[in-house]
Chains A and B, each alone.
Chain A
C-alpha cells in the first residue's frame, strides 16, 4: 500500500483522533500527524473499520485544528531502531533521542509490541542474584529472569532502593555486570535527575539505556514507553547476549494513562474505572522478562509500583502481584522509624527463591534459615501487638525474647546502609546471630544439623544483649560478633540492653 495522507479527521477527544474515509488502514499501524502549525505528532491505529479509524495520538490532541490536520499512515507498526549504540543513551517512549544527540541509525528495526514467548522455549530461572540487601538476598531472593516488583507508597525511598540494587546487583560467582534498561513513566524531573546522577556517579552510565517520560510529558506516550524499553532489553539480552536488569518506574502512572485512554474510548470499566483488560495489558509487559533455552542473555525486571493510599489491594498492585513472581513491599511504619530500606518482610515474597538458593547456590542452610526467620518474626509481631496492649512488663520471659528479637531484626537485619553491600554469607551469619537469641528447642524450622553448625551459644544474659547492639546498619555480623566476644571476656554485661 502506498503511503497516503488524509485530512479527514472528524473528532478529537482524550488523546484520540477519529478519521473518516481512510480505507485499508491496518490495525496497530503507526501514524504521523502534521498539525496546522506544522508540528509533527505520532500516533497508532487502535481501531480500524470500513467507515472510520481511531488513532491514539501519543503527544495528545490538544490544540488540533481538525480542518488543517494532515494524517499519514506509515504502513508499519510502531518500531524501535536497535544497535549497540543504544547503551548510554536516553530516549522517549517512541524511541526518539531525548539527550540532544542524533537518532540511532540502524537497519535493524523491531515492532515494539513484541509477541508471546512460547512457554516450551523458556528456561526456569534459577541463578541467584546478590543484591547486597539482606531482606532481599536472605528472605526474598531474586534470580536471573525473575520479575520482582517493589510495592511502595509516596514518600518512601523506593528510588534509593532501586538505585542501590542497580549498583550492587551481581551474580554470586560471576563478575559480569548487568546492563540496565531504565524506563521512567510519569516521574518528576527530580526523580529522573536522581537516577541520571546516580548512574553517572556510580560509573554504570555506559551500561544503561534510559527511556524517560516525565510527569509533564504527554501521558499517552507512557503506553508505548515500557514496550519500547523492553524491545531494547530483548535486543541487548538475546542479540547481544547480555544480562539485562530492567527497572521500570512507576507502573501506577502507566496504568493511569491506560485508564485515561480507555475512558476516552468508551471501554466498559471494571474496577476503579480501570478497563477489564488491565490484567492482560500488564501481563504483556511483565511477561517479556525471563530466560530462553540456549540463549545466553536474560531479562530480569524490577518494576516500581506505588500503591495509591498505601493500599495493596488497589487494582494496580493487586493485578501486578498476580503476574509477577513475588513482591518487595516497603512499609511506611519502618520508614518513619528511620529504618532503611524499609522492607516489610511479611507481605514480601519471592516465588522463584526456592530453586535459586541452598547448597549449590548460596549456602545449605539458607532455605530453612529464611523459613525460621519468617516464623519467628511473625510471632514477634504478634507479641509486639500484645505488648502494646498489656505492656511489655506483663509478658513472660519467653515472650520478651520475641520483643528483643523483633527490635534487633528491624534495626540490624532490615536496616542497613545505603552503600552497604552485604554478601549472602554475611546476611546468613547475621540471621543466625539473631536466631540464637532463642533457645534451640524453639527453632523448629531449621534442622538439627544447621543448629549444630551455626547456632551461637549464648547464655541468657547475653541473649538479651545480642539484639542490643548499636542501631547502625553499617555494623557487619563479624564486627558485632567480635565485639560481643570482647564484652563477654571483660565480664561486664548490660543485661537486656535492648
Chain B
C-alpha cells in the first residue's frame, strides 16, 4: 500500500478541521499535519485541496506548515498482543503512551498498537503442507495469546496461492516471517503474524448465517425476557442515570462470548478506569481465568479529540471481525453510539454541510446502518462459524426516544432494551422497561431454552409478560380511583406482578450472589414466582383474603431467594419451592375445611 510519500502545505485551521494543499492525495488517506505530526484523515477533496479531520488538537498549528500524505487509509494492526490491551480511538496503546508521555496524552505521539519486541510461541498448523494451495482465512498456525485465548494466525484477505514455506514451531516476534506464499501472478508474499486492515472496510467472510444460540448474559430481564442472539445487534437506549453503562458492563463481565471488545466512545474517564481497575481482578465465570484475558478496550473519553471518537467504533468493530474470522463468538459493546453520532454531527457542522434533523447530517441513518450491519454470524473462510454481536448504548437527549439517533437505531437493530427513568428513580435495576423493550429473537432463543433448560420456557415467559401487562393496566386504575376499586383477584394480580418485578426482574450488579444468574436459576426463579401466583390465584377465588396472603412470610422470602442462593444452589431453591407449595396447600386445606364447616 505504501507509495512515495508526498508533502504539501497547511492552508486553513478551523478546530479539528484542517485544509491542506496536496495534489494527488486520495479520499480517506491518512495525513500527518504540521511540525507536530498530528494524525488525520482526508474527508473531502476539492481540486488540489483536501479537507482533513485530525485526531488530535490543532492548537499551535500555522498555515504554511507541512502536511504529509501517508498513502493508506485509517487502518488497524491485527495480530497477537491485542487481548487485554487498552487502546485509544485510533488504536494507540494507552498504557505504553502513559509510560512515554506521562499522565497526559502528548500530541503527535506515534506508537504502534502491537509490541514489536515480544516473542510468541508459534505452533504451525500440522495439517498444512508446503506445496498446498492456501486461500485467505486458512489457518497457518496459532499462538496462545492469553491463557484463555488461542490466537489463530490466518492467511490475510487477498492472498491466494501456493504455500512455499511455513515456519516451524518456535518463538517469533510478530514481524518475523512465518510463511511464504507464491501468488497466482507469480510473486512471493511474505506473511507475518500480523497485518493491517482499513477500518472502514468490512472484513470478508464466506457467507452469512442465521444466529442460532442465545447470548447468555446472566441477566434475567435480558436472557429470559428479551434475549439476544450470538451475532445479533441490539441497542440500550436510556436517559442519563438510567444505568446504560452498568448494563453494558454486566454484559461484558458475564456473557458467554469468547471475546469481549468494549468501546468507550465519548464517555466518562472515571467509568473507564472502573473497568480498567476491576476487570483484571474479575474471574471469568466460564473459564475461571481472569476476565481481562478475553477482553479488549478501546477508550476515547469525552474530552479526547472528537474525530478519534468517530474512528473508535470502526477500530473496535474491525478488531471484532478479526477475532470472528478465527471462529470466535465476539461481543462488541459501544458506549455510546450517540456520542459517535454527535462526532459525525460536529464534523459535518464544521464542514458547513446542510443539517437535516437536529443538526445531524443526512447520512446519519446510512452510516448507523452500515456499522450495525457489520455484526452477524458468519461462515468464515477457514475457521468455521464465528459471530460478532454488536450492542450499542444510545443516550437520547432528554430521554426522548423519538430523537434521530434512537429512532434510526431502532429501525436497524433486533433487540431493544429500553431503559426507563421511572424505574431507575425507584432504584429498580436493571431499569429495562418490559413494556417498551422488544426482542426479535424470542422464537429462536426458545429452541435453545427448550432443549437445554425447560420445555415450558416460552409459555412461562409469555405468562409473566401478560401478568406484567395486566399490572400496568390495573396500576392506572389504582392511580385514578385507589386500590379499593379492584376485585380481590385483581389485587392478587398486582401482588403477582410485584413478585415478578422484585423476585425476578430486579437484579443488583453489586450483589455478589445475584450479579450473575445462570439460565437454570433464571428459569427456577421465574417458575417459582409464577407457581406462587397461580396457587395464590386459586386460593383467592376460594375466598382467602388477599391481605392474608400478603402477610405470608414466604412472599418476602421469595423476593430474597435470588440473592440467598447462587446459581450452584438450585437444590435449595427447589427445596424452598416444595416448602412454598406445602404452605399454600395447607392453607387451601384449611380453607376447604372452613368452607365445609360453614357449609
Binding site for B on A (CB under 8 A): 23-29, 46-50, 77, 111, 113-125, 145-146, 238, 267-271, 275-277, 279-280, 283-284, 286-288, 290, 292-293, 295, 312-315, 318-319, 321-327, 346-347, 349, 351-352, 354-355, 367, 371, 374-375, 378-379, 382, 385-386, 389-390, 394-396, 399, 441-442, 444
Contacting A at CB under 8 A, from B531-559, are: 551, 553, 556, 559
Binary flags per residue of B25-61, CB closer than 8 Å to A gives 1, else 0: 0000000000000000000000000000000011111
- Cross-chain contact of B276 among A116, A120, A395 (Cβ < 8 A): A120
Contact, CB under 8 Å: A48 / B63: yes
* Given known A276-B345, A444-B556, contact A116–B359 (CB-CB < 8 A): no
- Cross-chain contact of B359 among A26, A269, A319, A347 (Cβ < 8 A): A269
Binary flags per residue of B262-279, CB closer than 8 Å to A gives 1, else 0: 001010111111101100
Contact, CB under 8 Å: A441 / B553: yes
Residues of B near A268 (CB, < 8 A) are 348-349, 352-353, 355, 359
How long is the Cα–Cα vector from A310 to B305 in the complex, in angstroms?
Answer: 32
Contact, CB under 8 Å: B304 / A121: no
Nearest 7 CB-CB pairs, A to B? A313-B398, A283-B302, A270-B359, A49-B12, A287-B303, A28-B59, A378-B426
How long is the Cα–Cα vector from A323 to B267 in the complex, in angstroms?
Answer: 7
How long is the Cα–Cα vector from A470 to B249 in the complex, in angstroms?
Answer: 45
How long is the Cα–Cα vector from A485 to B63 in the complex, in angstroms?
Answer: 79
Contact, CB under 8 Å: A326 / B427: no
Q: Tell me how far the C-beta of B420 lies from the nearest C-beta in chain A, rounded to whole angstroms.
A: 13
Residues of B near A386 (CB, < 8 A) are 478-479, 482
Residues of B near A27 (CB, < 8 A) are 13, 58-62
How long is the Cα–Cα vector from A367 to B508 in the complex, in angstroms?
Answer: 12
Query: Of the 9-residue stretches B92-100, B449-457, B459-467, which lies at the interface with chain A?
Result: B92-100
By beta carbon, the residue of chain B nearest A440 is B556
Contact, CB under 8 Å: B426 / A48: no
How long is the Cα–Cα vector from A315 to B342 in the complex, in angstroms?
Answer: 13
Contact, CB under 8 Å: A117 / B342: no
Contact, CB under 8 Å: A271 / B397: yes
Contact, CB under 8 Å: A121 / B397: no
Q: Tell me how far the C-beta of B191 lies from the nearest C-beta in chain A, rounded to whole angstroms.
A: 32
Interface presence of B435 (CB below 8 A) = no
Residues of B near A270 (CB, < 8 A) are 345, 349, 355, 358-359
Residues of B near A349 (CB, < 8 A) are 241
How long is the Cα–Cα vector from A145 to B240 in the complex, in angstroms?
Answer: 20
Contacting A at CB under 8 A, from B275-330, are: 276-277, 299, 301-306
How long is the Cα–Cα vector from A29 to B13 in the complex, in angstroms?
Answer: 12
**Which of A280, A375, A386 has the most C-beta atoms of chain B within 10 angstroms of its own C-beta?**
A280
Contact, CB under 8 Å: A47 / B241: no
- Cross-chain contact of A354 among B14, B61, B510 (Cβ < 8 A): B510
Contact, CB under 8 Å: A277 / B346: yes
Contact, CB under 8 Å: A444 / B301: no
Residues of B near A346 (CB, < 8 A) are 425-426
- Cross-chain contact of B349 among A115, A125, A277, A385 (Cβ < 8 A): A277
Contact, CB under 8 Å: B355 / A444: no
Contact, CB under 8 Å: A116 / B303: yes
How long is the Cα–Cα vector from A247 to B342 in the complex, in angstroms?
Answer: 28
Contact, CB under 8 Å: A318 / B482: no
Contact, CB under 8 Å: A279 / B240: no
- Cross-chain contact of B63 among A23, A113, A277, A379 (Cβ < 8 A): A23
9 A-B pairs (CB sep. < 8 Å): A27-B13, A117-B301, A120-B95, A120-B98, A123-B277, A275-B349, A280-B346, A346-B426, A351-B268
How long is the Cα–Cα vector from A1 to B517 in the complex, in angstroms?
Answer: 66
Interface presence of B158 (CB below 8 A) = no
Given pairs A267-B350, A382-B479, 13 additional interface contacts (CB within 8 A): A26-B60, A27-B13, A47-B13, A77-B59, A115-B107, A118-B94, A124-B270, A270-B345, A270-B349, A279-B266, A286-B303, A318-B397, A389-B481
Contact, CB under 8 Å: A119 / B346: no
How long is the Cα–Cα vector from A205 to B303 in the complex, in angstroms?
Answer: 31
- Give chain B's interface secondary structure class: mixed
By beta carbon, the residue of chain A nearest B9 is A50
- Cross-chain contact of B427 among A28, A287, A290, A375 (Cβ < 8 A): A375
Interface presence of B483 (CB below 8 A) = yes
How long is the Cα–Cα vector from A245 to B12 in the complex, in angstroms?
Answer: 39
Contact, CB under 8 Å: A121 / B483: no
Interface presence of B400 (CB below 8 A) = yes
By beta carbon, the residue of chain A nearest B342 is A279
* Given known A121-B103, A271-B397, contact A375–B426 (CB-CB < 8 A): yes
Contact, CB under 8 Å: B479 / A385: yes
Interface presence of B64 (CB below 8 A) = yes
Q: Tell me how far the C-beta of A175 lies from the nearest C-beta in chain B, rounded to whole angstroms.
A: 26
- Cross-chain contact of B241 among A23, A321, A396 (Cβ < 8 A): A321
Contact, CB under 8 Å: A325 / B268: yes
Interface presence of B395 (CB below 8 A) = yes
* Given known A276-B345, A313-B397, A375-B427, contact A444–B560 (CB-CB < 8 A): yes
Interface presence of B174 (CB below 8 A) = no
Contacting A at CB under 8 A, from B73-111, are: 86, 94-95, 97-98, 101-107
Residues of B near A275 (CB, < 8 A) are 349
Residues of B near A351 (CB, < 8 A) are 241, 268, 271
How long is the Cα–Cα vector from A117 to B60 in the complex, in angstroms?
Answer: 19
Interface presence of B339 (CB below 8 A) = yes
Residues of A near B58 (CB, < 8 A) are 27-28
Q: Tell me how far the C-beta of B238 lies from the nearest C-beta in chain A, rounded to whole angstroms.
A: 11
Residues of B near A292 (CB, < 8 A) are 103
By beta carbon, the residue of chain B nearest A385 is B479
* Given known A26-B61, A290-B270, A375-B426, contact A118–B98 (CB-CB < 8 A): yes
How long is the Cα–Cα vector from A408 to B76 in the complex, in angstroms?
Answer: 59
* Given known A50-B12, A116-B304, contact A122–B105 (CB-CB < 8 A): no
By beta carbon, the residue of chain A nearest B299 is A119
How long is the Cα–Cα vector from A460 to B355 in the complex, in angstroms?
Answer: 64
How long is the Cα–Cα vector from A276 to B86 in the complex, in angstroms?
Answer: 28
How long is the Cα–Cα vector from A279 to B267 in the complex, in angstroms?
Answer: 11
Residues of B near A122 (CB, < 8 A) are 269-270, 272-273, 276
How long is the Cα–Cα vector from A292 to B269 in the complex, in angstroms?
Answer: 11
Contact, CB under 8 Å: A287 / B301: yes
By beta carbon, the residue of chain A nearest B96 is A120
Contact, CB under 8 Å: A378 / B478: no
* Given known A271-B397, A385-B479, contact A280–B103 (CB-CB < 8 A): no
How long is the Cα–Cα vector from A399 to B491 in the complex, in angstroms?
Answer: 14
Contact, CB under 8 Å: B510 / A287: no
Q: Tell me how far the C-beta of B155 lies from the nearest C-beta in chain A, rounded to whole angstroms.
A: 34
Q: Tell me how far the C-beta of A323 lies from the nearest C-beta in chain B, rounded to whole angstroms.
A: 6
Q: Tell me how far the C-beta of A141 lies from the nearest C-beta in chain B, rounded to whole angstroms.
A: 14
Residues of B near A118 (CB, < 8 A) are 94, 97-98, 101-105
By beta carbon, the residue of chain A nearest B86 is A120
How long is the Cα–Cα vector from A375 to B11 in the complex, in angstroms?
Answer: 60
How long is the Cα–Cα vector from A346 to B239 in the complex, in angstroms?
Answer: 14
Q: Tell me how far the C-beta of A399 lies from the nearest C-beta in chain B, rounded to whole angstroms.
A: 8
Contact, CB under 8 Å: A49 / B11: yes
By beta carbon, the residue of chain B nearest A277 is B346
Contact, CB under 8 Å: B306 / A277: yes
By beta carbon, the residue of chain B nearest A262 is B349
Contact, CB under 8 Å: B502 / A444: yes
Contact, CB under 8 Å: B62 / A119: no
By beta carbon, the residue of chain B nearest A269 is B359
- Cross-chain contact of A28 among B60, B101, B239, B551 (Cβ < 8 A): B60
Contact, CB under 8 Å: B270 / A325: yes
Interface presence of B399 (CB below 8 A) = yes
Q: Tell me how far the C-beta of B418 lies from the nearest C-beta in chain A, rounded to whole angstroms.
A: 17
Binary flags per residue of B335-349, CB closer than 8 Å to A gives 1, else 0: 000010010011011
Contact, CB under 8 Å: B94 / A119: yes
Residues of A near B107 (CB, < 8 A) are 115
How long is the Cα–Cα vector from A379 to B350 in the complex, in angstroms?
Answer: 48
By beta carbon, the residue of chain A nearest B304 is A116
By beta carbon, the residue of chain A nearest B556 is A441
Q: Tell me how far the C-beta of A79 lies from the nearest C-beta in chain B, rounded to whole angstroms.
A: 12
Contact, CB under 8 Å: A48 / B349: no
Residues of B near A24 (CB, < 8 A) are 62-64
